[in-house]
Structure 1
Amino acid sequence: MNYWLVKSEPFKYSWQKFNEDKRTFWDGVRNYQARNNLREMKEGDLVLFYHSNEGKEVVGIAKVMKEAYQDPTTDDKNWVVVDLSPVEALKTPVTLEQIKADERLKDISLVRQGRLSVMPLKAEEFDRIVELGS
């Protein structure tokens, strides 16, 4: 299994809306590295859902339900989406400040490549963030 983190601005697509929808395709990715990460996602992989700009915190866990396919919001064949479903909310959101302050998370992509919207996580990074949120 692989682990990931996706970012969404809550005013555009929030954790609450994601839970209401129960499933969504993750669109709007227009960065090649983030797109390549979407292409690497496999059904069953776990994904941390991060509210960017407002809040700046990991709020929940999602699961990849369908692997990469053509982004239906564009005719450009360069862009793909994956389907995600919510699994559970973290009991306590984990802030970017907490992540930056945690020695075990010092090399996480969220800190090193702050603008990247879809990023891989090591299993131990995923587990540590979930632990901080429980």
Structure 2
Amino acid sequence: MNYWLFKSEPDVYGIDHLAAEPQQQCRWDGIRNYQARNFLRDKVQAGDQVLFYHSSCPRPGVAGIMEVVKAAYPDPAQFDLESDYFDPKATQDKPQWYAVDVKLRKKFARHLPLSALKAHPDLKDMMLFRQGRLSVVPVTMAEWQTIESMVKG
């Protein structure tokens, strides 16, 4: 099992949106960065645990935990002419972009703010801080355990 952090803007799709979905499950799509795509396509697997991170908002931070319930498959939005995520270079034979399905496991009563993550010495090397623009980033087991303890504490 691997650990990840997936970012989403809460006004576009936040943890409350996921909590309201049937079975609290959805397709995590719209990834349009090649490095993030490669993580989704090549590394993210069913059973992996994911931190749901609210980004590009007044108080960014971790809002809850999800689980990957379906590994990577071609993102259907890339083929949809009406979608903001349409890609004219993508074909059914050579898809460019991938999605996974996730299920909500836990919504935090209070999100864990970015400032608290940055202040914790055990999290100083998180990829989140080194490559902040990526919407899908790996999290080490030690980082995951630190974040879990911060949420409980």
TM-score (norm 2): 0.85
Per the TM alignment, residue 84 of structure 1 is displaced from its structure 2 partner at its CA by: 0.3
Q: Which amino acid aligns with 1:105?
A: L
Alignment partner of 1:59 is 2:63:
yes
Distance 1:117 1:30, change over 3 A: same
- Corresponding residue for residue 126 of structure 2: 108
Unaligned runs of 5+ in 1: none
- Corresponding residue for residue 19 of structure 2: 19
- Corresponding residue for residue 148 of structure 2: 130
Find 2:44's aligned residue among 19, 41, 44: 41
1: CA distance, partners of 2:67 / 2:4:
10
**SS of 1:81's equivalent?**
strand
Q: How many correspondences in the alignment?
A: 134
Bigger-Rg structure (1/2): 2
Q: Which amino acid aligns with 1:122?
A: T
2: CA distance, partners of 1:33 / 1:129:
24
Contact 1:63/1:87, CA 8 A, preserved across alignment? yes
Q: Give % identity.
A: 44
Per the TM alignment, residue 90 of structure 1 is displaced from its structure 2 partner at its CA by: 2.4
Structure 1: 4+ residue segments shifted above 4 A: none
Unaligned runs of 5+ in 2: 80-89
2: CA distance, partners of 1:49 / 1:130:
13
CA RMSD between the two structures? 0.9
Higher helix share: 2
Contact 1:61/1:86, CA 8 A, preserved across alignment? yes
1: CA distance, partners of 2:148 / 2:27:
23
Per the TM alignment, residue 92 of structure 1 is displaced from its structure 2 partner at its CA by: 3.1
TM-score (norm 1): 0.96
**SS of 1:73's equivalent?**
helix
Per the TM alignment, residue 94 of structure 1 is displaced from its structure 2 partner at its CA by: 1.1
